[in-house]
Amino acid sequence: MINFTLTFLRHAESVGNAEGYYQGQKDYPLTKRGKDQVRRLISRWQMDGTRFEKVISSPLARAKHTAEMICQCFNCPLEFDEAWRERDMGFLTGMKWEEAKITRPKPSFFTPFDNMGDTGEGNWELYLRAGKAIHKILQQPPARYLIVSHGGILNQAMHVIFGMTPQAAGQGVHFRFINSAFAKVYYEPDKHKWVVWGMNDFTHLAVKDFEIDEEES
């Protein structure tokens, strides 16, 4: 049986990332540096012979523009799926990180069922959405898929693949994706076997691009 290859890519740097906003499901375009990050990634994939049969992307601008740049060079079909949008951050959406520390400080304890930013998606809700999004891909024919999405939901997608449920107060394992970093996994459906090939791969970036922002999206 032919196996699935799933490459999970976080969008390149957006204006929201660069200016320190909680983005959530609010739209921000890519920065000049973000577009350069995508070009470097494309060059790397072209050099190592990477191929995709299909690209699935969040429709939010920062992921959409990242995916469109890649599809233009690799000449592969692009599908937008609302399931891969970033976490709904509730009242934190569009708020500066520094402002949020003062006006909406992170609680010392919270459960996976608590909402983010009072009205947004908690970790359990986001975990379930990520699981459904992966399930939807696995209902399609086995192929090489690129999923262009966001840090928060990609973190939960990795929890789904590793069989790790969300923990209280953010405890447990976290999977970091910096801007334009990707993870690659293989899935053997006849064995229900996941093989992790790489995580948070950003070797196409220069040292100055290794900054890690506070916000997951």
**Tokens (6 digits) for 100:** 């949020």
Give the relative orientation of helices 61-74 and 32-48 as an angle to the nearest 10 degrees: 30
- The helix (H) or strand (E) run that includes residue 5 is strand 4-10
Q: Where are the domains of the chain?
A: 4-209
Q: Coil, helix or strand for 72?
A: helix
Beta pairing, strands 193-201 & 182-188: antiparallel
Task: Using only the alpha carbons of the chain, give its radius of gyration.
Answer: 17
Question: Would you place residue 210 in the very low, low, confident or very high pLDDT band (cuts 50, 70, 90)?
Answer: low
CATH fold of 4-209 reads: Rossmann fold (3.40.50)
pLDDT tens for 61-109 read: 999 999 999 999 999 999 999 999 999 999 999 999 999 999 999 999 9
Give residue 2's pLDDT: 78
